A and B are shown apart, each in its own frame.
Chain A
Amino acid sequence: MQIYLPIAEVSVNAFLLLGLGGLVGILSGMFGVGGGFLMTPLLFFIGIPPAVAVATEANQIVASSFSGVLAHLRRKTVDLKMGSVLLVGGLVGAAAGVQLFAMLKAMGQVELLVKLCYVAFLGIIGTLMFTESLRAITRSRKPGAKPTRRQHSWVHKLPLKMKFRTSGLYISAIPPVLVGASVGVLAAIMGVGGGFIMVPAMIYLLGMPTKVVVGTSLFQIIFVTAFTTLMHATTNYTVDMALAVLLLVGGVIGAQIGTRIGVKMKAEQLRILLALLVLAVCLKLGLDLLLRPDELYSLGNGGH
């Protein structure tokens, strides 16, 4: 069944969108990532204009994250205090990101920047997660070995210390705010929730327990993507309601299924799978940048 999208001004198959939403929703629920880093490139691929894909994806992530966070709230695996600190940074970052996006769009470099960001972030995070999870798995197979204690690094020497009871942490508020801000910038320019960066940052940089990371990340993502949606809707008019509804119907159902799958799996297995997924997307995007494209020319809107 074909459907004409009012803002994107293209006609696409409704079932394809529902399916894509569902698939990405499952991943989102399993790993606590918004799934935007997969969905946005997929939307480009089926012919949605990039500006519409980025803005609409932000709207869809609100739905899947909200659905996911409710499941986590019931299990009390959300650190609301940490989430709020991350959010403060996130909103500042998102506001800056929307401005940067508009500027780069005018220069015609937005596509390149978005892809370079993806390759760099996905590459670093994927590799880190992969090696770390491998180490964790081999460690768990040797019951005699003790897990190494977390080292006190520069993160613990900063001022403005706060107590985060749910996470069992007593650390400075500066690193979470910075993590939130950088994720906010990415949310605006890449049309992603930023969970794929925030989740590892929370585990490895802030030292939060894996149990509360997913819920807390989803909590912060809801607000940052809601803010990004509003910014895109009012400055660029690029949020497509019809597209968002189709994606989120599939997405929220997928997220619920994914959350249940995630509970049944071991944290190390979950992380190694996410790492492989992240590396695969990174490789694909990297090749796109390095190999000669079939069409060297591209069209954009003139007369601005």
Chain B
Amino acid sequence: MRRLLLSLALLAAATTQAPAEEVVAGLSQNRVSITANFDGSEIMIFGAVKRTAPPPDAGPLEVVVKITGPLTPVVVRRKERVLGVWANTAAVEVDAAPSFYAVATTGPLREILSDTEDLRHRISIERMIRSVGAPMDITDSQAFSEAIVRIRADKGLYRTYEGAVELTEETLFRTAIGLPANLVEGDYTARIFLIRDRGVVDMRSVSIEVSKVGLERWIYDLAHQRPLAYGMLSLVIAIAAGWIASAVFGRFRT
């Protein structure tokens, strides 16, 4: 019993003790509003390393900044030639993939971060895509996850900025991450990692709220909450537009 208490006390001491280096970070904006003329945005992430002692005698400090969008399931389909035409044949349902992913680093991610730490903190995009059960007849499920990364990177939804984090005297850092115009709503997260000797020293997480506002919000809510009224309104607009155009042109002619 006494041994258990002792170990609990030790554990408590270990957790309350602050790490030698802590990250303090801020964002240029904590919420992104999608308005009718939204054309992408840029978020500045900056901060400093707080130390209670002089910098440890270890490898150089590296900083990784990651922004991710909401995780959603995705169905990936592959085309094959069937009777001369290209048709979807195989499909794999990936349990979770981020709708948006961007990472900015002080150096090449593979070199500054070890695989085990990547696995633990799920930093690289490959670690973020979770695929559990591919159907039995599909042996190359890896190719399907790779397809998500490739297609979304093409659309500007997955971005890598290697070496884009500016670090000054191992204390101050800053970077900018661009958000594309085809952003979806949801709770986004910015994570800042301090890394030494390929291991994570400290991590901070800040949430970013991305939401539609104004007319965008109103249309979206109406379409989902009162679909019949929304459909009717769409028709009324269509008929009115058709009638106005006809009336205006009819007057021109006479």
Contacts and interface: CB of A to CB of B under 8 A. Distances in A.
Interface of A: 1-4, 6-7, 9-11, 47, 59-60, 62-68, 70-71, 74, 108-109, 111-112, 116, 226, 229-230, 232-234, 237, 239, 241-242, 244-245, 248-249, 252-253, 255-256, 289-293, 295-303
Contacts of A298: 76-77, 79, 88, 151
Interface of B: 34-40, 72-81, 84-88, 91, 93-95, 143-144, 147-148, 150-152, 181-185, 212, 215-217, 219-220, 223-224, 227-228, 230-235, 237-239, 241-246, 248-250
Contacts of B182: 9-11, 47
A253 B245 contact: yes
19 contacts: A4-B38, A6-B217, A9-B184, A11-B182, A59-B234, A67-B245, A68-B242, A108-B91, A112-B87, A226-B235, A226-B238, A239-B231, A242-B219, A256-B248, A292-B81, A299-B74, A302-B75, A302-B94, A303-B93
Contacts of B72: 301-303
A6 B219 contact: yes
A235 to B, nearest CB: 8
A141 to B, nearest CB: 33
Nearest to A64: B242
A249 B34 CA distance: 24
Contacts of B147: 295-297, 299
B37 A1 contact: yes
Contacts of B81: 292
Nearest to A25: B245
A4 B231 contact: no
Given A9-B184, A242-B36, A302-B75, A233 B234 contact: yes
B86 A292 contact: yes
Contact of B234 (A229, A249, A290): A229
Given A60-B238, A226-B235, A296-B79, A4 B37 contact: yes
A25 to B, nearest CB: 9
Classify the secondary structure of A's interface with B: helix
Contact of A289 (B36, B86, B248): B86
A34 B181 CA distance: 31
Contacts of B183: 9
A295 B151 contact: yes
Nearest to A226: B235
Contacts of A291: 86
Contacts of A299: 74-77, 147-148, 151-152
A6 B231 contact: no
Contacts, number: 199
B144 A297 contact: yes
Contacts of A70: 242-243, 246, 250
A247 to B, nearest CB: 10
B242 A108 contact: no
Given A233-B230, A301-B72, A302-B72, 5 more contacts: A66-B242, A68-B242, A111-B88, A229-B235, A292-B86
A239 B234 contact: yes
Contacts of A4: 34-39, 181, 216
B249 A11 contact: no
Given A59-B235, A60-B238, A300-B77, A255 B88 contact: no
Contact of A66 (B85, B220, B239): B239
Q: Which 10 A-B pairs have the closest CB atoms?
A: A302-B73, A233-B231, A11-B181, A66-B242, A252-B245, A297-B147, A67-B242, A63-B238, A303-B73, A256-B249
B219 A7 contact: yes
A245 B86 contact: no
Given A62-B239, A244-B238, A256 B74 contact: no
Given A230-B232, A299-B76, A6 B242 contact: no
A241 B235 contact: no
A78 to B, nearest CB: 14
B219 A11 contact: no
B32 to A, nearest CB: 12
Contacts of A241: 219, 223, 230, 233-234, 237
Contacts of A111: 88
Contacts of B234: 59, 229, 233, 239, 241, 244
Contacts of B245: 67, 252-253, 255-256
A174 B94 CA distance: 48
B115 to A, nearest CB: 26
Given A226-B235, A299-B151, A67 B87 contact: no
Contacts of A230: 228, 231-232, 235
B243 to A, nearest CB: 7
